Amino acid sequence: MSTAFVELDQVTKKYGDHTVLDRVDLAVDRHEVVTLIGASGSGKSTLLRCVNGLETIQGGQISLNGDVVSGEGVDLVKLRRRVGIVFQSFNLFPHMTVLRNCTLTPVRAGVATRDQAEADARVMLERVGLKDKVGAYPDQLSGGQQQRVAIARAMLMRPQVLLLDEITSALDPELVIEVLNLVRELAADGITMMMTTHEMPFAREISSKICFLHKGSILEQGRPEEIFGAPRAPELRTFLRKIHEAGRD
């Protein structure tokens, strides 16, 4: 058995005949932050969704802390409680207050009593700077605030890995910074993370490893200096040039 905390081994994902992930190998160590970059449609979101068990895979294997978490007979509910995920579109429950959004799963999963869960949630919400919004409904919050609630909600399950899928892409530019600051703090706390982002400077600063996905395959991976400073694959160079031309690096 290998020693990586999250390990993807020859993972293949197909929708019908369409192969979206093609024999992907990826290892993430504990406390690492790994960022997936690549053009739209290259399979970044799908890869994260496979790790969380939202998608079933057609080949290969995913393991988490030594346990195989893909294939038949895996308890998906249990897996998902170990792997938090935050989406581009926040996906808070609009009919619940911020506090209830944060306590629902811990209470239902039996990891905390209601009182405990509420106390935990208040601490976490204070930490993400939303102490005074516990009683608010999602549609009363700005995008940045909603996304911070979504991160708090995921963190309250004390996940072993946190997956962040383009969590700032739906935000107005002035709100991006508050969310990125929060992610920075989580990284400093040693939370193991896998994320996708279009914020290249941020990826460069925070990641221990960057993986470049192209048409469902990881073409190149390495430390940020290597990927951004000395890209080898021609596709990666093209991708970085386009990002540069768009002024996003």
Partner 1 sequence: MNVQASGARTTGGPAPGDDASEPARPLSTRGYLSGAAVLALLTVVVCYAFAGAALPAGQPLRILLGIVLPAVIVGGPLLAAYRGSSLSDQEWAAGRHVAARVAAARSRNASIASLGLTAFIAIVSLAGLLVFTNDGAVQKTFLNGEFMVKSAADIGKALLINVQIAIGAQILAMVFGLLLAVGRLLPGKGFWPVRALCIAYIDVFRGIPSVVLIYLVCFGLPLTEVPILSEGDPILYAVVALALTYSAYNAELYRAGIESINKSQTSAALSMGLSQPDVLRFVILPQMSRNIAAPMLSTFIGLQKDTALVIVVGIIDAFSQAKIYSANDFNLSAVTAVCFLFVLITIPQTRLVDYLLARSSTRKKGV
Contact call for residue 46 and Mg ion (CB under 5 A):
no
Is position 35 an interface residue for Mg ion (rule: CB under 5 A)?
A: no
Position among 65, 91, 160, 221 found at the interface with partner 1 (CB under 8 A): 91
Location of structure tokens 């998902």:
80
154 scored as a contact of partner 1 (CB under 8 A)? yes
Distance separating alpha carbons of residues 36 and 39, to the nearest angstrom: 10
**How many whole angstroms separate alpha carbon 149 and alpha carbon 13?**
31
Identify which of residues 36 and 124 has a Cβ nearer to Mg ion in the complex: 36
Q: Which residue type does 148 have? A: R
Residue 7 or 55 having the CB closest to ligand ADP: 55
| Exposure b/e, 118-145, CB count within 10 A at least 16 = b | bebbbebbeebebeebbebbbeebebbb
The amino acid that residue 168 corresponds to is: T
- State which residue, 80 or 214, has the beta carbon closest to partner 1: 80
45 binds Mg ion (CB under 5 A): yes
Question: Is residue 105 a contact residue for partner 1 (CB under 8 A)?
Answer: yes
Please state the separation of Cα 165 from the chain's center in Å.
5
Q: Residue 77 CB, nearest distance to partner 1 (Å)?
A: 5
- The residue range among 2-10, 40-48, 122-130, 156-164 that interacts with ligand ADP, by the rule CB under 6 A, is 40-48
43 binds, among partner 1, ligand ADP, Mg ion, none (CB under 5 to 8 A by kind): ligand ADP
Cβ burial 151-166 (10 Å sphere, 16+ → b, else e): bbbbbbbebbbbbbbb
- Which does residue 80 bind out of Mg ion, ligand ADP, partner 1, none, counting CB within 5 to 8 angstroms by kind? partner 1
Whole-angstrom Cα distance, residue 119 to residue 9? Answer: 40
Read off the amino acid at residue 204. Answer: R
User: Would you tell me which residues interact with ligand ADP (CB under 6 A)?
Assistant: 15, 20, 38, 40-46
Instruction: Write out the residues near partner 1 by the rule CB under 8 A.
Output: 52, 54, 76-81, 84-85, 87, 89, 91-95, 104-105, 108-109, 139, 153-154, 157
